[in-house]
Structure 1
Amino acid sequence: MLAHPLLAEQPDLATAINILDDWAAHQRQRWRQPGLAIGVVYDGELLWGAGYGWADIEKERPVTLDTRFRIASITKTFTATAILQLRDAGALRLDDAVSDHLSWFDLRYQDAPAITIRNLLTHSSGLPRDSSNPMWTECAAPDWDSFVADTQKRAPTRPPYAAFAYSNLGYSLLGGVIESVSGQSWADYLQEHVLDPLDMRETRPIPSADDPLLATGYTRERADGRRDALPFWLMKGFEASANFASSVNDLVKYAAFHLVSHESAVLSCYSLLDMHRIHFMGDGWEGGYGLGVGLYRMNDRVISGHGGGYPGYLTLFSLCRELKAGLIVLTNALGSDPHEVVSQAFKLLLPELAKLQEAAADAQPEWARYVGNYESEWARQKVVIRAGQLQVISLDWLDEAPTVLEPTDSPHTFRLKQRGQSNETLRFELDEAGAVIRMWERNEYSLRLRD
């Protein structure tokens, strides 16, 4: 177990972590699960992490934060990152036809537009999900040449953009696009241009069967309570969709990259924002898919990330970018439930992490002059100081979220932090005596009402 010094300063957060620790240990026993590793990330660092149970039952090798697991479809986030990096470099466009980069690819739904890179990234291509062979049942994937030959025989099941339909085949094609555009193999490109810049030395695009740190993957629990070890195998032609192996400690570095809001050595801040917004809305408008990540709402927070399922392994990589928080859950058995671990962990931790950010906000004494009521023909508003922030509240629409005023370098001028609005400014106008007389929002104003 590893804990951050911040927990000594925040007793309520430490209590939430303690509850999570005991709950996770208890659930692993209830589920009779071989091994489990959890990492909690905050502000780019490992806040807390722990390993439970066995990486290998027969050898009694314990799970640690350095134990490597097959992370399966979390691989897709790395493949998507590589594609966006190539876009940043001007080497491709997301609306390029796949056939622009893979000359052999000519699949097309009748009378429909060409399938694009964007379609592959968002699972909106209409392509089938997997291989035409029982890959997941027999633990054997085709090599690239066989993948190409088989794919050429597969017809799209619907036109592009008609529906979200998860496709490992589509993401495997992205691996071919990366190779075609970069001149490097998918694995070599990811190693040199994503893993090395992030110092992810313990992550393997192509895992090895004799890796002493690799957890053994196990079946579901049999009727007699037994679990069998599953064979080691590689995704080969499907590698860009699900081949990676990694550990909690290395995925902390990956989470830190996804949680930043500035430029990084891997992606522009704009591509990172693009990655973590919905590009294809799910049924019921409860969530959707971005560029290599799924998104959903947990109460008033947006959660993004990706799960992974591989024979012997179920995993989940989840982020709450608003609160600079991440969760990594890795298991080495089918029938485990990393989604339940993430759900309970976020329920425990996000309220406490939100308090940290509220406490970090520091109201400025000079803001007191702005507090009061303002009125125009359009609205009656109230400026208040709350939770360390200067806020504007609508007295006509009290159920609406307040507008937060973020200080700028200009006197009496603030950036409007308002959902769905244009990030423009608000300025308080003062008279010669220094009293506030007007509040200018963008190019319109309200008059200050005297008490």
Structure 2
Amino acid sequence: MARLFKTFFISAIAFAHVQACTSTAPKAAPDIPEFTSTLEAARLEDGAVGFATALIDDGELIYAKGFGETELGGGAPITPNHIFHWASVSKPLVATAIMQLSERGQLSLDANLVEILPDYRITDPRQRDITIRQILLHTSGIPDVEDYNWDKPEYDEEALMRWALTDSPRDLLFDPGTERKYSNVGYEILGAVIERISGMSFEEYMSANIFEPLGMKSASFIYPDTEKALRTVGHAGARGEKHRIEHYPYNRRHGPSSTLNTSVMSFAPFAQALLAGGSLGETHVLNAETLADMWAPRWMIDEENAESGAMGWVVENRPGRARMVRHFGWDDGFRSALLLFPDTKQAVLFVTNDEDANLRAYLFPALDMLKERASGEN
């Protein structure tokens, strides 16, 4: 009963905040015919089933369009409002939620995991040393998921906590804080942390504190809640050999690491808010100082390409190029990318219902156009 009351109370506050704010829902973006022709030619050459993309320049949504079809051989034409599975692009949202709790004084990033989740099953004494910051940075030593069981999804509200506390793989790969190894399990545990601190389910917290305030109407971590008419079907296979993925990648226990469902239009306000320093209009997501802390490079991944791990993101600082803060996603039937350029307030959002699509064929033209706009050539 206490959790139910707390959930209702926090949700009511969030709803009142949304009602008081000016609308942040993105307006329809104008077409850029030449760019559209370039992307469609790339899709035909690549043989991708479909995709949607959106561009932000100087903090404004300047382009949003869909290409191809929702399902091979008879699906509806994709629009920028169609909903896709974004896979690991879920993680920047989880990191943002953790930073919100830290900003509000409800969570210390240097707290030990077992302080927050004392019922976390210990199988290695080193697990007592794992901190929230290490999980955000993928330096905790927690192993990765071995089988997502997408074809055997769990839907109940306890699925995430059950997985995080007892069922997930946990034999540490190294001493916490000494190496970096990407871990989806770590982010699923962060989802359990959000649940424990907020008293809400992970999905309720994300909706009340990010999606609703920003007007992200189609965004949900619960696939059955998405609008059926706007769903897309995942595909795989080489050009000319595309086939439908029979299962949609959804399992509630993996929500925080992988199950963001949304459209590029609905996702755009999140990118705009971060590019604006953490707020969009009157809607506050993070303080600018908290955002800078989240994006601070803390662990070198690839010295040659100047890639560093940040909390929930990867940062690229290459000579002669604008700083990029980004995350990619790749899952059964889908691929995605969220690329932010904080110094020029630019972004690329891209998602496809074809896991074998060549992302470079679509991202490079987008990056070239944004670079031209930043230099004043357009």
Mapping of residues 103-252 of structure 1, within 5 Å: 103-107=118-122, 114-131=129-146, 134-135=147-148, 139-140=151-152, 143-144=159-160, 145-151=162-168, 154-208=170-224, 211-221=228-238, 225-252=241-268
SS of residue paired to 2:53: strand
1:235: how far off? 2.5
State the partner residue of 1:352.
373
SS of residue paired to 1:212: helix
CA distance in 2, matches of 1:116, 1:147: 15
CA distance in 1, matches of 2:145, 2:214: 31
Selected match of 2:294 from 275, 279, 299: 275
Q: Which has the higher strand share?
A: 1
The structure-2 alpha-carbon separation of the partners of 1:51 and 1:162, relative to structure 1 and needing over 3 Å to count, comes to same
Confirm or deny that 1:284 pairs with 2:300: no
1:265: how far off? 1.4
State the partner residue of 1:265.
284
CA distance in 1, matches of 2:323, 2:184: 25
SS of residue paired to 2:235: coil
Confirm or deny that 1:308 pairs with 2:329: yes
| Identical aligned residues as a percent | 24
1:20: how far off? 3.5
State the partner residue of 2:110.
95
CA contact (8 A) 1:130 1:168 kept: yes
The one-letter code sitting in structure 1 at the alignment partner of 2:317 is: R
Q: CA RMSD in A?
A: 2.5
Confirm or deny that 1:29 pairs with 2:57: no
CA contact (8 A) 1:230 1:311 kept: no
The one-letter code sitting in structure 1 at the alignment partner of 2:62 is: L
SS of residue paired to 1:56: coil
1:141: how far off? 5.0
CA distance in 2, matches of 1:111, 1:289: 22
Mapping of residues 364-443 of structure 1, within 5 Å: none
1:353: how far off? 2.0
CA distance in 2, matches of 1:48, 1:259: 16
SS of residue paired to 1:170: helix
1:63: how far off? 0.5
State the partner residue of 1:416.
none
The structure-2 alpha-carbon separation of the partners of 1:56 and 1:195, relative to structure 1 and needing over 3 Å to count, comes to same
1:86: how far off? 0.4
CA contact (8 A) 1:109 1:158 kept: no
CA distance in 2, matches of 1:308, 1:214: 18
Confirm or deny that 1:41 pairs with 2:62: no
Summarize deviations over 1:266-307 as a string: whole Å, max 9, x none. Answer: 211111111222122213261112111111135421111211
The one-letter code sitting in structure 2 at the alignment partner of 1:56 is: E
Higher relative contact order (CA 8 A, sep 6+): 2
Summarize deviations over 1:128-159 as a string: whole Å, max 9, x none. Answer: 1114xx326x64456332453223x6210101
SS of residue paired to 1:305: strand
The structure number with the bigger radius of gyration is: 1
SS of residue paired to 2:213: coil
SS of residue paired to 1:72: coil
1:349: how far off? 2.1
1:24: how far off? 1.5
CA distance in 1, matches of 2:118, 2:314: 30
The structure-2 alpha-carbon separation of the partners of 1:339 and 1:89, relative to structure 1 and needing over 3 Å to count, comes to farther
SS of residue paired to 1:316: strand
What TM-score comes out, normalization by structure 1 length? 0.70
1:96: how far off? 0.5
1:218: how far off? 1.1
CA distance in 2, matches of 1:91, 1:242: 25
The one-letter code sitting in structure 1 at the alignment partner of 2:236 is: T
Flag structure 2 segments of 5+ consecutive residues without an equivalent: 1-27
SS of residue paired to 1:66: coil
SS of residue paired to 2:229: coil
CA distance in 2, matches of 1:141, 1:159: 32
The one-letter code sitting in structure 2 at the alignment partner of 1:192 is: A
CA contact (8 A) 1:280 1:290 kept: yes
SS of residue paired to 2:284: coil
CA distance in 2, matches of 1:318, 1:174: 23
Q: Which has the higher helix share?
A: 2
CA contact (8 A) 2:86 2:329 kept: yes
SS of residue paired to 1:197: helix
Flag structure 1 segments of 5+ consecutive residues without an equivalent: 8-16, 360-451
CA contact (8 A) 1:316 1:329 kept: yes
What is the aligned length? Answer: 341
1:122: how far off? 0.7
